[in-house]
Amino acid sequence: MSQVSERLAALSPSETLAMSQKSNELKAQGIDVINLSVGEPDFFTPDFIKKAAKKAIDENFSFYSPVPGYPELRKAIVNKLKTENNLDYKPEQIVCSNGAKQSVCNVLLCIVGPGDEVIIPAPYWVSYAEMVKLAEGTNVIVPAGIEQDFKITPAQLEAAITPKTKAIILCSPSNPTGSVYSKEELKGLADVLAKYPDITIIADEIYEHINYVGKHESIAQFENVRERVVIVNGVSKAYAMTGWRLGWIAAPQWIAAACNKLQGQYTSGPSSIAQKAAEAAYTGPQECIEEMRQAFERRRDLMVKLASDIPGFKVSKPQGAFYLFPDCSYYIGKSFNGKKMENSADLAMFLLEEGHVAAVGGVAFGAPGCIRFSYATSDDKLVEAMKRVKDTLAKLV
């Protein structure tokens, strides 16, 4: 008999991970599925990072680390923030966790309580809204469709703010849309937020380095909001280290202290070996980032071309991350063998079962008319996958 708590019963499972798991199950049955569901680089972790991890094992980094991470790693992150982002932080403002996913959740659990509102521009990454629910807060979703390149305007932001607003979660470059806020656009949002000093700004910058329009812009650069920004970042995407589980925040001192306290009772510091690997990533040669970025940019161009060729798809040109998020509402309401596609989750399931391509329906991202394809895989697989998508969708009547 299942007697899970109300809190857990209200939680939806991660759709990105669920679709990936379904795709792996079909593969295990011998079906040739192309998995464009989960978002993770297909590259191996660079050798110099792996070497540092092996060295850490041999040097017996086998004990508990300080809860927020080793001082050397936090210093390396402070240095990265200074040299790459021109932002000044102290090591005490950095807390390392088991992936940026835990970092976001830590912050929300530390600052959000019953009755508090959190503004989330949609489309949003699947886990934000569920994490707010875990913290017993209320999601205030601000929709931004493909016609506005999936980015909210300062006026939309201002209209969503109430006396209960506790935080906003911004993600740029964005998962799932690939949209990137320009410096001017971020300044527009910062100017609104500057008028509301009690709102914490959570800036998820995990795709910082997968950017096709130039330099990364952080909302933390604006003095009028700077002291209320929590930057979330990590090594998963930039250094192809998703399985190592190492993310971090750069936060106001009080939020860093709160996350330290929470983590001290909850998980302790992240893996000692992953921390030594991350330290090597931040202090070693950085060419690997640009090599992977270029590969993703080539694939972005390929995907835009292939998807634009599919009847009914509306395609935006992503400026970062490794996702394509076409609007496929043209197919919603159509049927296959008498089964109607009620939304893009049905469409994703149809593509998986009938076309053997795994993608994620936009419902989970707060955009029921869209579907997400992760293009972090080889060019050959992308060509084959999009051919299957096109042929499979053509079966809908």
Question: Minimum CB separation from ligand GLU for residue 127, in Å?
Answer: 6
The partner in contact with residue 275, picked from ligand PMP, ligand GLU, none with C-beta cut-offs of 5 to 8 angstroms by kind, is none
Give the integer Cα–Cα distance in Å for 127 and 310. 29
- Is 173 near ligand PMP (CB under 6 A)? no
**Contact map string, positions 23 to 42, toward ligand GLU, x by CB under 6 A:** ---------------xxx--
Residue in the shown chain whose Cβ atom is closest to ligand GLU: 39
Q: Are 229 and 201 in contact (CB under 8 A)?
A: yes
Q: 29 Cβ partners below 8 Å, 6+ apart?
A: none
**Contact map string, positions 85 to 114, toward ligand GLU, x by CB under 6 A:** ----------------x-------------
With CB under 6 A as the contact rule, the residue among 11, 14, 140, 334 that binds ligand GLU is 14
DSSP codes of every residue in 117-165: EEEEEES--HHHHHHHHHTT-EEEEEE--GGGTT---HHHHHHH--TTE
DSSP codes of every residue in 71-130: HHHHHHHHHHHHHHH-----GGGEEEESSHHHHHHHHHHHH--TT-EEEEEES--HHHHH
Q: At what angle do helices 344-355 and 15-28 cross, to 10 degrees?
A: 20
Nearer to ligand GLU by Cβ, of 336 and 365: the residue is 365
- Is 175 near ligand PMP (CB under 6 A)? yes
Question: Minimum CB separation from ligand PMP for residue 242, in Å?
Answer: 5
- Is 247 near ligand PMP (CB under 6 A)? yes
CB atoms within 10 A of CB 220: 24
**Contact map string, positions 109 to 138, toward ligand GLU, x by CB under 6 A:** ----------------xxx-----------
Give the integer Cα–Cα distance in Å for 80 and 86. 9
Residues at the site binding ligand GLU, with contacts judged by CB under 6 A: 14, 16-17, 38-40, 101, 125-127, 175
Task: Please give the residue ranges that form the binding site for ligand PMP (CB under 6 A).
Answer: 39, 99-101, 125, 171, 175, 204, 206, 234, 236, 242, 247
